[in-house]
Amino acid sequence: MSDSACPNVGIIYNDAKPVAEKTAADLVEQLSARGCRVTSTTGSGGILGCSRLNHPVCSSPLEQLVPPGFDPSLDFAIVLGGDGTVLSAFRQLAPIGVPLLTVNTGHMGFLTEIYLSQLPAAIEQLLAGNFSVESRSMLEVRVFRDDDPLWEVLCLNEMVLHREPMTSMCHFEVAIGHHSPVDIAADGIILSTPTGSTAYALSSGGPVIAPEVPVLQLAPICPHSLASRALVFSETEPVTIFSATQNPIVMVVDGNAGCYVQPDDRVRVNRSAYSAQFIRLQPPEFFRILREKLGWGLPHIAKPTSVELP
């Protein structure tokens, strides 16, 4: 905590959601009245958008996404929105190591810690310093052309390379660490963190990975071979991907940032020195979240032994 009686607080909110915008304004007023230094911004600064074929560079250096007024002196930040806002907020604040309390004002909210109705009690808990911080791995994704960096982004969930809608199946040459490159024929490939294992990778048949396991996952999308299945390997291994396809392919990171990748480009992915710092108000219970959000491990309800016909 800061030396003052009340901590320094940052607020990031989804300005496309009126309830998040109003809650942010109310929090600024309430916390300022209690003597806190409060800085607020929208989550839009962490959404990089997508590049175009004739303008491939659309991103900023990782550290330049930190919003004005936000710095390491912040004791914590509060994020108001859905999972997209959470992903954006970590891209903005991970470089300065500020822990975030994630508040769900969206729908699924798989990455959020509490619902909006729980926020008043959570604020008291935060101000009392009664919380823990869970660190989760992030990735640094870069695109190179002739050894010149074109594009880079910080990633919490996954990096996806896939074909254009009107093109055929792609071939990817993937080199993991010092191992020999492998060729994967598929509609696309997903490289995910444990946090991202419950997102797109799960829909593509990959395993669920507990957040504390220090691994990455490579999952093919609609592979051509029955032998092409998800691969789990150490997060210390850097990954280099070449497209062995004549047409441009598309890269999307965390669902809200992307660029075109040309046949001669290479994509380089490694674990970032930055990590996502999640504030936990109670001990993390990953299986409970799987059960509540995805229905995993719910008790089986047997069918009746007999049906009485009308």
Q: Are 235 and 215 in contact (CB under 8 A)?
A: yes
State yes or no: 84 annotated in a binding site.
yes
Nearest 5°: the CA angle 218, 134, 32 is: 130
Between the alpha carbon of residue 161 and those of residues 71, 155, 189, 254, the distances in Å are 33, 14, 5, 12
Which entry of 15, 71, 83, 146 is annotated as an active-site residue? Answer: 83
State yes or no: 157 annotated in a binding site.
yes
Q: Cα–Cα distance between 244 and 159 in angstroms, integer?
A: 18
State yes or no: 198 annotated in a binding site.
yes
Residue 282 CB burial class (10 angstroms; 0-12, 13-18, ≥19): exposed
State yes or no: 29 annotated in a binding site.
no
State yes or no: 202 annotated in a binding site.
yes
State yes or no: 104 annotated in a binding site.
no
Q: Are 303 and 221 in contact (CB under 8 A)?
A: no
State yes or no: 113 annotated in a binding site.
no
State yes or no: 187 annotated in a binding site.
yes
In three-state secondary structure terms, 125 is: helix
Q: Cα–Cα distance between 186 and 201 in angstroms, integer?
A: 14
Assess whether 83 carries a catalytic annotation.
Answer: yes
State yes or no: 158 annotated in a binding site.
yes
State yes or no: 60 annotated in a binding site.
no
* Tokens linked to 154: 């910080």
Is the sign of the CA dihedral 198, 201, 205, 211 positive or negative?
negative
What one-character DSSP code corresponds to residue 52? Answer: B
Residues 6 or more apart whose Cβ sits within 8 Å of residue 286: 210, 211
State yes or no: 8 annotated in a binding site.
no
Helix axes 119-127, 18-33, angle to 10 degrees: 40
Is the sign of the CA dihedral 229, 235, 237, 243 positive or negative?
positive
Could you list the residues known to form a binding site, using ranges. Answer: 83-84, 157-158, 187, 198-203, 256
Could you list the residues known to form a binding site for NAD(+), using ranges. Answer: 83-84, 157-158, 187, 198-203, 256
- Residues marked active site are found at 83
